[in-house]
Amino acid sequence: MSKVNKVVLAYSGGLDTSIILKWLEDTYGCEVVTFTADLGQGEELEPARAKAQQMGVKQIYIEDLREEFVRDYVFPMFRANTIYEGEYLLGTSIARPLIAKRLVEIAEETGADAISHGATGKGNDQVRFELGAYALKPGVQVIAPWREWDLLSREKLMAYAKEHNIPVDFAKQGKKSPYSMDANLLHISYEGGILEDPWAEPEEDMWRWSVSPEAAPDSPTYIELTYEKGDIVAIDGERLKPHEVLEKLNKLGGANGIGRLDIVENRYVGMKSRGAYETPGGTIMLKAHRAIESITLDREVAHLKDELMPRYAELVYNGYWWSPERKLLQGLIDESQAVVNGKVRVKLYKGNVVPVGRVSDDTLFDENIATFEDDAGAYDQKDAEGFIKLNALRLRIAANKGRRLID
């Protein structure tokens, strides 16, 4: 065990990280600096400060990172229409590179020689935090208590807290959600509890941001989204900051039963994991962004983006945000967004997001050519004959050579 004088801990103020704080002090004999990020999780963060002070922490960082989170991480990811394994909108994954960045920055500011996090040895977050930290500060020491200690059950954690007089609200702990939850402006994730049985349906009272589609209003909600270079800059004509956009879309989507997801995903560490997610604003953003791209992007550019997206999604999911390949892909994606400007009108109704209108000064949709009415010679339909024959040439040659495609 190398000597650690000071460590920066990603600290929520909850049971696990409060125990980690004390464990770091006892195990490494070091000073602990706490860092708590406000990413829009909707919780009061001052109790984290009070707990850290009560435990004798001298340097406490509590930072509002909502604007940076949406502007520099969520929006760039959505320019790529990013989804992992066809469904997951990467709400937890995309928050980790920002936290990793601030951990190493605070380590530099405070002269700390190590950082620490509360991610377990079974999950993806340990990988995301540490890949990011090593990419940005190669010599940093990372302490992952869940990979070192023997406090591997809730009972052992509670006993440790009691033994060391760690300020945990035990009554509240007894009433807490049975799920392991992570929240930020993009989503809430739920794992554990009955979700560990992939046959069991989540209880209705688990969901926190959205009504069920069955309980959603019987009348649709229409909204108009304004895009500039692939990002939403206004809702119904009101210009908003990026985090304000996502906050408003979360409320609108949640009220209409939008954004619930129940999946079994493949973790980077090798196991399958069942999780439930609420991503109302992100679900709207994905559908609307594809709608504005449908009239503004060249066909081959759009198809190339779709081919690259799964690779980009894996990079985000697996923790490679701070990697040269992600940066390279981001440059290509962002270049494509120069023409993604205009407005999309969306209908929200009982869990559905339906784009019903698109308009842009950069549109490639030509009504004169696309019309089913008289196009006044804008398109010569006879040209299609040669196009079809040329594309059929290899098929005709193979058929003439007796290569059968029907058994």
- Asked if 312 and 177 touch (Cβ cutoff 8 Å), the reply is no
Q: Is 16 a catalytic residue?
A: yes
Name the catalytic one among 12, 16, 79, 336: 16
Look at the block and give the residue holding tokens 């604003």.
281
The Cα 69–Cα 241 span in angstroms is 12
Query: Measuring CA to CA, which residue among 16, 8, 10, 9 is closest to residue 168?
Result: 16
Q: Write the DSSP symbol of residue 335.
A: H
Cα separation, 308 vs 80, whole angstroms: 9
Total length of the chain = 407
Find the catalytic residue in 180, 294, 345, 362.
180
- The residue type of 135 is A
Please say if 180 is a catalytic residue: yes
Asked if 261 and 277 count as a contact pair (C-beta separation under 8 A), the reply is yes
Catalytic residue among 38, 125, 182, 231: 125
DSSP string, 40-98: S--S--HHHHHHHHHTT-S-EEEEE-HHHHIIIIIHHHHHTT--BTTTB--TTGGGHHH
- Catalytic choice (79, 96, 260, 358): 96
Helix axes 125-136, 96-110, angle to 10 degrees: 50
To the query of whether residue 93 is one of the catalytic residues in this protein, the response is: no
Does the annotation count 306 as an active-site position? no
Q: How far apart are CA 245 and CA 25, in angstroms?
A: 41
Give the long-range contacts of residues 313-316, CB within 8 A, separation 24 or more.
Answer: 313/80, 313/82, 313/83, 313/84, 313/85, 313/90, 314/84, 316/77, 316/82, 316/84, 316/90, 316/93, 316/94
Question: What torsion do the CA atoms of 121, 166, 187, 181 make, to the nearest 10 degrees?
Answer: 60
Are 274 and 195 a contacting pair, CB within 8 Å? yes
Distance CA 368, CA 361 (A): 16
In single-letter form, the type of residue at position 391 comes to: N
* CB-CB contact of 185 with 242 (8 Å): no
Number of neighbouring beta carbons within 10 Å of residue 215: 10
Q: Which residues are catalytic?
A: 16, 96, 125, 180
